[in-house]
Structures are given as C-alpha cells and as structure tokens.
Amino acid sequence: MKGDSTVRAPWILHPILWIIIAVLLYPVMWVVALAFSGQQSLGLADLPANPTFLDRLRMVMPWPQSWSFANFVGVWTEQPFGRWLWNSIVVAGLTTVVGVAVACTAGYAFSRFRFAGRNAGMTLFLVTQMFPGTLMLIPLYAIVVDWLHLDNSVWGLVVVYSVTAVPFCVWMLKGYFDTIPTEIEESAIMDGCSPGRVFFEIVLPLAKPAVAVTALFSFMTAWNEFILAATFMEDDTRYTAPVGLRFFVSEFTAQWGYFAAGSLMVSIPVVILFLALQKFLVGGLTAGGVKG
C-alpha cells in the first residue's frame, strides 16, 4: 500500500546499511590493497606538491597504484612464515579438539544431571569470563611454566587456550542441550542404548549447530591470540602466526606490506573452517522428534 511504513522502511534503511557496511569493510579493504600493493609504506598513493581534491581523495581510497604478489612472496621467503602458520594450525586444531571434547561432555552433564555444585560450577564459569585476559597472565605463567614445565611447547598453549575457551563453550552447549527433549534420550534408552551411545548417536548429532559454533569459537580463540603465545613461546620456530607477524612491524622496521599480506594469509584458514562448518549452522535439527 502507498504510504505504508513497512514498504517505505527499506528505502530509508538502505543508505544507513551501506554506510555501516562501508565503515566495516574499509579497514579490510585497506589491508587487501596494502597486501597487493607490493610496497611497505602505509600510504597507497603519493601526494603531489599542490594536491587537488581528487589527489586527496585518491590518498584515502584503498586501491594500490599497481597490483603485485611481491608482498606474499616476501612473507614466505624472508621469515619462516609457513612454520608459524603450521604452529598456529596445530595449536588451534588441538585446542578445538580438546575444547570441544571437554565442553560437550561438561555441557551435557550440566544440562542433564543434578549434582552437588552444579549451580556453583556454572556461576564460576561465568565469573571467569568477567576478568580481562591479561589479568590471568601471571597465574597462567606460574602454572604452565613453573609447575607444568610446558613453556615453549605447543601443549602449554593448548592447555591455556582450552581452559580459556571452555567456560563460554560449556554455557553455550548446556543451553543447547537443554533444548533437546529428554524423551528422545529416554526413547534411546528404551531402545537399549548405553548412556555413552545415547550421547554420541542421539544427542551429539542433534547438537551439531552448537558444536560447530563451539568449534569455531575454540579455533578462533587459539588462532587470534597473541599475548599468551608471545609470553610462553621463546624459540622463534615455535611462534604462532600472530606472534610471528609482529616481526614485520617492530621498533626498527615497519614492513606494512608484508604485515598485510601475512594477515590476509592468516585469515584464510578461519574462512575455510567457517565455510566448512557453515552447513551445520542451521536451526530446526530437532524438528519432528517430539510434538512441537
């Protein structure tokens, strides 16, 4: 209907949405342009002596003067970037496996069983999320380095990242398990399933969306982390990619082109993982199981 606010609303919203998208994408586009520029300075264009408005506009446009893969090649040849990337994949992969395994079983237990300390445990998980990560640095260092002697080891980081990711994952999975009707599990018990079989064959397949999100969260917790990795890893062959990237921009050098190319390459595994897990991020998996 003409004049209907529900029809007019999108036209009003569109410019606002485009502005928000531009603001969000601008830094990413700048990184892409820098990576493909083949140069190391932050500026993508040179400003002439008497710049016109167009010259100034060109200065802020994320578009390189020429396109080149030189920065990508440089990243791989000048530093052991492949090694760092592999370290990141190992650390993040193991963190995901450990984090998801612990969070799934813990989340299920918190959802289904009633035991002493259940509510206190869930509250404690929440409380741990209220402290800034850097506050944990000293106690974690004491535990991982002094007690466990896992400094400079992939496992040290895996332990730290897993325990960091687990509280959020447990909360999320517990919430999802709560939505799976218990009758479905009872039905499996009547069919002769052991508790383990109920969990692996009935509950987990129904919780795929939550497990996928949990996996993604655990992976990204480990993948993007810098401070703990920089603290625990001393040997430069043990660095993870975020720690290694800092070598391109240090006190004495500022290879922004390499940094941007490295950053782009670091983001690729996360994008691949997201695309792989995307098919599980669907709702309604329990539809039809019980009367809705």
Among 192, 251, 252, 279, binds other proteins (CB under 8 A): 192
Of 232, 109, 211, 96, the residue nearest 165 (C-alpha): 96
Of 269 and 289, which has the nearer Cβ to other proteins? Answer: 289
| Geometric angle at alpha carbon 199, from 198 and 202, rounded to 5° | 60
Question: Tokens 């408005």 sit at which residue?
Answer: 53
Site track for other proteins across 269-288, x = CB under 8 A: ---------------xxxxx
- Token pair for residue 246? 């800092």
Q: Is 206 in the site for other proteins (CB under 8 A)?
A: yes
Q: Tell me which residue of 176, 191, 187, 193 sits closest to 286, measured CA to CA.
A: 176
Residue closer to other proteins, measured from CB, 85 or 206: 206
Among 103, 157, 202, 215, binds other proteins (CB under 8 A): 202
* 190 touching other proteins, by CB under 8 A: yes
Distance between CA atoms of residues 258 and 256, nearest Å: 5
**Minimum distance of other proteins from residue 207's CB (angstroms):** 10
Query: Which one of residues 193, 220, 230, 249 is an interface residue with other proteins (CB under 8 A)?
Result: 193
Angle, helix 81-112 to helix 70-78, in steps of 10 degrees: 90
φ/ψ (deg, to 5) at 290? -130, 170
Q: Determine the residue type at 185.
A: E
Q: Does 291 bind other proteins (CB under 8 A)?
A: yes
Q: Per the structure block, which two tokens stand in for 270?
A: 């996360």
Distance CA 31, CA 264 (A): 8
Whole-number minimum distance, CB 284 to other proteins, in Å? 7
**Separation between Cα atoms, residue 248 and residue 259, nearest integer Å:** 6
Q: Given the complex with other proteins, which of 83 and 208 has the nearer CB atom? A: 208
Exactly one of 197, 213, 230, 267 binds other proteins (CB under 8 A); which one? 197
Task: Record the tokens describing residue 216, joined without a space.
Answer: 């993604």
Contact characters 127-166, other proteins, x per CB under 8 A = ----------------------------------------
Greatest distance between any 2 Cα atoms in the chain: 83
User: What's the min distance (Å) between Cβ of 185 and other proteins?
Assistant: 9
Report the residue from 183, 236, 281, 282 that binds other proteins according to the rule CB under 8 A.
Answer: 183
- Check residue 188 for interaction with other proteins (CB under 8 A): yes
- Measured CA to CA, the distance from residue 28 to residue 260 in angstroms comes to 10
Smallest distance from other proteins to CB 173, Å = 17
Closer of 2 and 279 to other proteins (Cβ): 279
Closest CA to 164 of 95, 231, 90: 95
Segment contacting other proteins by CB under 8 A, of 13-21, 46-54, 156-164, 186-194: 186-194
Q: Which residues of the shown chain bind other proteins in the complex (CB under 8 A)?
A: 181, 183-184, 186-193, 197, 202, 205-206, 284-291
